[in-house]
Structure 1
Amino acid sequence: MQVSVDTTSQIERRVTVQVPAAEVDEAVNARLKDAAKNVRMDGFRRGKVPMSVIRQRYGRDVRNEVVGEVMRERYVRAISEHELNPAGFPQIEATVNEAGKDLEFVATLEVYPEIELASIEGTEVERPVVEVTDADVDEMIETLRKQNAGWEAVERAAEDGDQVTIDFQGFLGDEPFEGGSAEGHDLVIGSGSFIPGFEEQLIGAKAGDDTEIKVTFPEDYQAEHLAGQEATFKVKVHEVKGQSLPEVDAEFVKKFGVEDGDLDKFRAEVKKNMTREASQAVENRVKQQVLGALQKANDIPVPQALVQQEVDGLKRQAAQQFGLGEDFDVSQLPNELFAEQAKSRVEVGLLLAEVIKANELGASDDEIKAKVEELAEQYQEPEQVVEYYMGNEQMKTQVKSAILEEKAVDLLLEQASVKDVEMSYQDVLAAAQQQDEADEEEGSEESAGEEERQA
């Protein structure tokens, strides 16, 4: 077997392989002889069909089958001998495929890039410093009360946050439109579940009132025949209900896993959860700054095969998030919607892998177990969670990857200039949410930019 490797780009290789004709022809002949033993053909007894007939009838298919197997096997041998590290599957094409001639084929593949890491020294990283106060805990408990509130009928006019029971019918001009009516519908004013402008016009309504509400459907409304249209809704208000907040007593706290109903334990548990949430938000904010600096300092080529794998994963996540069902064909979703986000993820993954490799980072079983125990604290039965994770190699591998990523980020953070910034609990969470929204918006803008470039 003769092999030559041409470098066509930083991450693309063209591998040309030649296999002696005798090896391929002998394999084809052996396969034909083996097949001849079981061939049934009119005019011949089983196994007695002349080889000339067998070759004429089956020769091309058998050769294609043998050549396909040979190319796959010799490709694997070639990349192993030349120490190539393929990223994804190759494109293999036979360039010479005739009996009596050496088989020649070309494999075009992408390889993982060789990375020489540049330092992020000089990068300024802001690290929030946050303390969960008693006032923060009080506010969280009030939120929990609202989440567990009941509804009680009131005799007054409806206010923002009230629940109203209504009948309604929508009209375009004088004609009612399909899907625009309901009876006995419970609507919380301010929930944003109806089109803009509808809920606000119910403020001040009382049980027994008949009212008309005028709204304009958004231009991007999912029902095209309603998009941008002005509509009138005739509404009958049957009942107005106000929130009935539960008392923070033993029965209330038992709902949150404090079996003995102790209020001090409940407050301590709420504060513990809030502190963990704040800590995660801080770690994530620092991490995003570090990884952004790492990408900025290291412009690397990215194998398209890896990007496509990530795109496919993001498509599956999107389908699951929007409840499209397991049978939904994710190939219907345009690659462009996910391409830039996928490319960024692959870049970060390759760079972190190089940091881990260069610094010979590892994670022991004790470290993995400690991390699992930390994660398990969020659950009501942490012992079962720990047992499940430690007994599942795939889950352990995921935890190990998370630990290695944390270690890599910590190492990179040592190169940066860290500035501690005092922030409140609410500000830290708000900043984390804004960062998530900015990342999503950036992905959308980059996708739009890509579409413009292609146009």
Structure 2
Amino acid sequence: MQVSVETTSALERRLTIQVPAEKVDTAVDERLKQTARRVKVDGFRPGKVPMNVVKRRFGDSVRQEVLSELMRNHFIEAVTQEKLNPAGTPEIEPVKMNAGEPFEFTATFEVYPVVELKSLEGESVERPVAEIKDADVEELITDLRKQRATFVETDKAAETGDQVKIDFEGFIDGEAFAGGKGEGYDLTLGSNSFIPGFEDQLVGSKAGDSKDVEVSFPEDYQAADLAGKAAVFKCKVHAVKQQQLPELNDAFFAQFGVAEGGESAFRAEVRKNMEAQLKQATRNATKQAVFEALMKANPIEVPRALISGEIDNLRRQAAQQYNLGQDFDIGQIPADLFKDQAKNNVTLGLLVGEVIKANELKADDALVDELLNEMAGSYQEPQKVVDYYKSNPEMLRQVQGAALEQQVVDKLLSQAQVTDVTKTFRELAMPGQ
């Protein structure tokens, strides 16, 4: 076998592989003999078909079959011989296939990049830190009460946080437009569920009021025919309802799994959950900061084949998230939606792999147990959850992967210049809320 390697781009390689004619002929003859022993041809007993008949009937198809196998096998031998590390499936094309002559084919593919990993020495990483204050606990308890609030009719003027029952109809240039009408709609003022400015103009209204609400649709509004246009909504207020929070009593506590111990036990449970949430949020934010620094310090080119494969993974995840069904063709989801994320994921995966290899890291059993216990802590019978994970190799590998990832983060943090940045609980654990 003769092999030549051509570098066609930073990561693309083209192999030209030549197989001696006698090797091809020997393989074809052997395959024809095997064929002769098993084929059935009218007029001949099984296994007694003359070779010239077998060649005439099956020679072309057998040769094609043999050449396909030779291309696959010799491609593997060639990349091993040349010490290449293919990324993705090669494009293999025959070049010379004439009988009695050396068989020649090309294989074009991308290779994994050679990463010369740079340390994070001198790189700045901001690590968020936060503590849970009594005010944070009170605020979260108020949020929990609001989630289970009821609304009671009142004669007072509507305030932000109140609910108004309205009929409305929208007009543009005096003409009603499709989808702009509703009746008996319960709208919570301050919820931002309507277009900007709508809810603010209903503050101060009372039951029985009629009001024209003047707004403009955002430029990026989902309905292109309405985007950027000024509109008037004629509204009729039927009722104003004031939010009524549930009392802090045993019935309320029971909704959160606190069956005894009263308010002190409930507050302790809330704080415990907040601490777990904060720990996870801190870990995630720190990991993101470290990985961003790792990619900044180590810009690499990544194979298109790996990016394409990751795009398909993200498409599948999106299809599952939106319950599109097993038969849904993920190719219908535009690749551009995931291109940047896929490239980042592949880049990060290659770099994290290099950190693991360079430092000979393995999942630490103690850290695996710690992560398992954290995960199981939110269940009523934590030990059963731990036992389940440990008895399921696939589930356990996921936790081991998370532990190994955390060890990578810790290793990189030890190299970088770390600055602690103080955040509030809500900023870190509940961003955007």
What does residue 283 of structure 1 align with? 283
What does residue 218 of structure 1 align with? 218
> What is the alpha-carbon root mean square deviation over aligned residues?
3.1
Following TM superposition, by how much is the alpha carbon of 1:396 offset from its aligned partner in structure 2, in angstroms?
1.9
Say yes or no: does 1:377 pair with 2:377.
yes
CA distance in 1, matches of 2:259, 2:292: 45
CA contact (8 A) 1:254 1:261 kept: no
CA shift in 2, pair 1:143/1:97, >3 Å: same
What are the residue-to-residue correspondences of 1:309-388 with 2, within 5 Å?
Answer: 309-321=309-321, 327-365=327-365, 367-388=367-388
CA contact (8 A) 1:11 1:113 kept: yes
What does residue 238 of structure 2 align with? 238
What does residue 66 of structure 1 align with? 66
CA contact (8 A) 1:363 1:400 kept: yes
CA distance in 2, matches of 1:182, 1:51: 84
What are the residue-to-residue correspondences of 1:168-187 with 2, within 5 Å?
Answer: 168-187=168-187
CA distance in 1, matches of 2:282, 2:339: 28
AA aligned to 1:304 is R
Q: Aligned pair count?
A: 430
Say yes or no: does 1:159 pair with 2:125.
no
Q: Which sits farther off after the overlay, 164-173 or 400-409?
A: 164-173
What does residue 300 of structure 1 align with? 300
- SS of 1:278's equivalent in the other structure is helix
TM-score using structure 1 length: 0.83
Task: Describe the superposition over 1:2-42 as per-residue Cα deviations: whole angstroms up to 9, x where unpaired.
Answer: 334444455333333222334434544565673893468xx
Structure 2: runs of 5+ lacking an equivalent: none
Following TM superposition, by how much is the alpha carbon of 1:142 offset from its aligned partner in structure 2, in angstroms?
1.0
Q: Which sits farther off after the overlay, 226-235 or 254-263?
A: 226-235
Aligned counterpart in structure 1 of residue 39 of structure 2, from 37, 40, 64: 37
Following TM superposition, by how much is the alpha carbon of 1:277 offset from its aligned partner in structure 2, in angstroms?
2.2
What does residue 441 of structure 1 align with? none
What does residue 412 of structure 1 align with? 412
CA contact (8 A) 2:3 2:78 kept: yes
CA contact (8 A) 2:160 2:190 kept: yes
Task: Describe the superposition over 1:55-92 as per-residue Cα deviations: whole angstroms up to 9, x where unpaired.
Answer: 67765554433322321222223333444322221111
Following TM superposition, by how much is the alpha carbon of 1:144 offset from its aligned partner in structure 2, in angstroms?
0.9
Q: Which sits farther off after the overlay, 277-286 or 319-328?
A: 319-328
Following TM superposition, by how much is the alpha carbon of 1:401 offset from its aligned partner in structure 2, in angstroms?
1.6
CA shift in 2, pair 1:46/1:215, >3 Å: farther
CA distance in 1, matches of 2:174, 2:125: 61
Following TM superposition, by how much is the alpha carbon of 1:49 offset from its aligned partner in structure 2, in angstroms?
9.3
- SS of 2:87's equivalent in the other structure is coil
What does residue 196 of structure 1 align with? 196
What does residue 109 of structure 1 align with? 109
CA distance in 2, matches of 1:223, 1:8: 47
CA distance in 1, matches of 2:261, 2:64: 74
- SS of 2:204's equivalent in the other structure is coil
CA distance in 2, matches of 1:160, 1:120: 49
Task: Describe the superposition over 1:151-202 as per-residue Cα deviations: whole angstroms up to 9, x where unpaired.
Answer: 2122222222222222233334444333222322222222222222322222
Say yes or no: does 1:272 pair with 2:272.
yes
TM-score using structure 2 length: 0.87
- SS of 2:242's equivalent in the other structure is strand
- SS of 2:86's equivalent in the other structure is coil
